[in-house]
Amino acid sequence: MTSSHAQEAIKLDLESRKLQRIVLNRQQILKVNERKYQFRVQKAKKKHRGK
């Protein structure tokens, strides 16, 4: 039965890493989108500055 316990532990570890990776990827995507948004806002402000 030790192999099944070991396999279960490996499976749980992989699952937790997968969830962690999903969370980190989501955070990174949000950061990128926020940066793009800020860049667009800045560009729009720069465009209308002289008028």
For residue 5, being part of any structural domain is answered with: no
* Total-model pTM: 0.65
| Helices then strands, each counted (H, E), the chain | 1, 0
Domain total for the chain?
Answer: 1
**Residue 21 pLDDT:** 98
Domain that holds residue 43: 25-51
Query: 50 to each of 5, 37, 40, 41, how far by Cα in Å?
Result: 69, 22, 17, 16
pLDDT, one tens digit per residue, over 16-46 is 999 999 999 999 999 999 999 999 999 999 8
For residue 33, being part of any structural domain is answered with: yes
